[in-house]
Amino acid sequence: MKAKTLRTAIWAICAILSFTASASVYDPAADFSLDSNPNGPWSYGSKGAVTGALTLFTEHSSGSQTEGWRGSSTWPDSYPAIQHNWSGVVFDDGGGWVVPPGGMDLAAGPYGKYADLRFTAPLSGTYDIVGVFTSNMHSYGGFAGATVDVHVQVNDGTPFLDGLILRYGDAVPFSQRLTLGKGDTVDFLVGPGGNGFLADSAGLQTVITAVPESATAWTGALAAAGMVAGLLPRKTPRQ
C-alpha cells in the first residue's frame, strides 16, 4: 500500500475511533416526551417514600406552556407530577409557580409521595451526573413557597444526595461520578419535605454524561495512530 493511501486509511480509522470514543449525553429536559413512559432511558413516576417501588405515570397533563406526566387527572392522584415548560419563554402561572424556558418541574404529592424521574443506564460504564434542584415556587400572597426534600439515589439505595428546599432561591447542587451496570437506575426524587403537601415542587436541571470505559484506551490508540500517520513519508515534490 502506498504511503499516501495508508496515511489516509489511518486518518479515516482515527475519525471512526474518535466518534466511537465520544461521550453520550442525556438531558431529561431536552429529551422530555409524552410519547411513551419509559421514554428511552427516562421514566416518569412516583414513590411512596424515598426507597420503594416506582409507579409509572400513565396520564398526561397540559397547560398553556407546559406538558407533563402524572398518575391521574383526579385529586389526590393528580400529584406527584413531572412537568416540562416546552416553550422558549418563562412560564408564570400568576400564583407563584415559575418554570424557566425548557425547564422541568418535579411536584411532590399528598400522603408523603415523591415524584421520581428515573434514569436507567443503557450501557455499563462510567457516568458523570451533574445538576441542581432549585425552587420554582415564589412566595405569593402570604405563601412562603415550596418546602420539599430532594434526593438522588442509585438502584433504590441510600441516596448520595439529600437536601431541602425551604424558600425561593434555595438550590441543592450535585456532582457525582458513578460506575453503573446496564440497567442500573438513578432516581431524582422530590418529596413534600416532611411538613405536608402545599404546592410543593422543585425544578431540576441535570445532565448525565456517559463515557465508555474504552475511551481511555481509544485516546491512546488515537495518539499512537496519529503519530504513525504523521511519521509516514510524504511524497517529495519534484525538483
Q: Does 143 bind Ca ion (CB under 5 A)?
A: no
Can you name the residues that pair with 188 across neighbouring β-strands? 117, 152
Q: How far apart are CA 183 and CA 186, in angstroms?
A: 10
Q: Does 195 bind Ca ion (CB under 5 A)?
A: yes
Q: Give the range of 10-18, 39-47, 142-150, 163-171 binding Ca ion by CB under 5 A.
A: 142-150
Q: How far apart are CA 159 and CA 230, in angstroms?
A: 49
User: Residue 230 corresponds to which amino acid?
Assistant: G
Angle between the 215-231 and 3-21 helix axes, to the nearest 10 degrees? 160
Q: Does 111 bind Ca ion (CB under 5 A)?
A: no
Task: Give the residue with the Cβ less far from Ca ion, 134 or 147.
Answer: 147
Euclidean distance between the first and the last CA atom of the chain, given in angstroms as a whole number: 25
Between the alpha carbon of residue 117 and those of residues 16, 41, 130, the distances in Å are 34, 10, 15
Applying CB under 5 A, which of residues 28, 41, 71, 192 lies at the interface with Ca ion?
Answer: 192
Task: Give the residue with the Cβ less far from Ca ion, 202 or 208.
Answer: 202
Task: Give the residue with the Cβ less far from Ca ion, 135 or 147.
Answer: 147
* Least distance between Ca ion and beta carbon 192 (Å): 4
Instruction: Report the candidate in 33, 148, 156, 118 with the shortest Cα–Cα distance to residue 84.
Output: 33
Q: Give the range of 80-88, 95-103, 172-180, 200-208 binding Ca ion by CB under 5 A.
A: 200-208
Instruction: Report the candidate in 209, 208, 207, 201 with the shortest Cα–Cα distance to residue 66.
Output: 201
* Least distance between Ca ion and beta carbon 55 (Å): 21
**Site for Ca ion, residues 22 to 81, rule: CB under 5 A:** none
* Least distance between Ca ion and beta carbon 170 (Å): 13
Applying CB under 5 A, which of residues 193, 202, 203, 208 lies at the interface with Ca ion?
Answer: 193
By the criterion CB under 5 A, which residues form the site for Ca ion?
Answer: 147, 192-193, 195, 200
